[in-house]
Amino acid sequence: MTAVSLKRILKDANKNKYAVAGLVVLGWDDALAFTQAADETGIPIILQAGPSCRAHTPVPILGKMFRYLADQTNTHICCHIDHGYTIRECIEGIDSGFTSVMFDGSKLSLKENIKITSSIVKKAHNSKVSVEGEVGFVGYANGKNSKGTLIDEAIKFSRESNVDAMAISVGNTHLQTKKIAKIDFDKIQKIQNSISTPLVLHGGSGIPNQTRKKLAKETNIAKFNIGTEVRMAFGNALKGQMKKNPLVYDRLQLLKPTIPEITKITKKIIKNIGPK
């Protein structure tokens, strides 16, 4: 099945009261595991190339890889650039076959964020590519603190930028290894009462499973970014292989057994928030 836009995937999610996982890709092995999980469950996913992934592998290569995997999979796959910080990064994603890009203007003034995001939206929509934006700042565990999204700014940003999805900061934090996030349901409700834009939570790994499920069913949160959770599964599987086979040095022999483990946890994640 060919790749689809973020707008299409999230519109279906909001309509049918579920959410989709934006799965952070670092290489072929985890991307393959993610698409196997989608195939085996019939649940759509979003393959995401974030800054560290793009620093490791050129975007044109990632675009071809993501589109190839989407073509081999029997459910909808969105191919997404995550945390693009410049217009150039977003345009490169559009030109390389991605069906969605995120411009992260969370560190800019609201006025500048809207100005740049709306310019990317125009270029992207001309190519039938979706755009995710961000209002507020989602912080990092053991790093910069979050700056919560202001309701009025979220409404203004959504209406003036014309984004297809909007990431917000409501208690979620990047890179959390424990599920300890306390999400502000009231703020989410107030935002969605004024706009219909599908909402996104980055730092989904730190949100308890039951909270993710409740958000998917009861709010306009249509996308959870999941990275740390699957990276931990990969790391544990790889460490186990190296301990079990201390004389094996072939990277393919070491990496191949991690794929079933990543597939297994991915299926649990997408079933929890996905359609029933």
Spatial distance between the Cα atoms of 85 and 254, rounded to a whole number of angstroms: 34
Give which of 195, 189, 203, 204 is closest to 163, Cα–Cα: 195
Q: Which H helix or E strand runs over 32?
A: helix 28-41
- Residue 5, Cβ neighbours under 10 Å: how many? 22
Residue 40: other Cβ atoms inside 10 A: 15
Which three-class secondary structure state does DSSP give residue 22?
strand
Instruction: Provide the 3-class DSSP secondary structure of residue 87.
Output: helix
Is 82 a catalytic site residue? Answer: yes
Q: In sequence order, what E strands does the chain have?
A: 20-25, 45-49, 77-84, 100-103, 130-135, 165-168, 199-201, 221-226
CA distances from 5 to 50, 121, 124, 251, 269 (A): 17, 13, 11, 34, 21
CB 144 within 8 A of CB 110: no
Residues 254 and 65: their CA atoms lie apart, in Å, by: 22
Structure token pair of residue 244? 């079990």
Backbone angles phi, psi at 87, to 5 degrees: -60, -40
| Token pair of 270 as six digits | 């997408």
Name the active-site residue from 82, 152, 164, 250: 82
Name the residue with tokens 């191949």. Answer: 256
Catalytic positions are 82
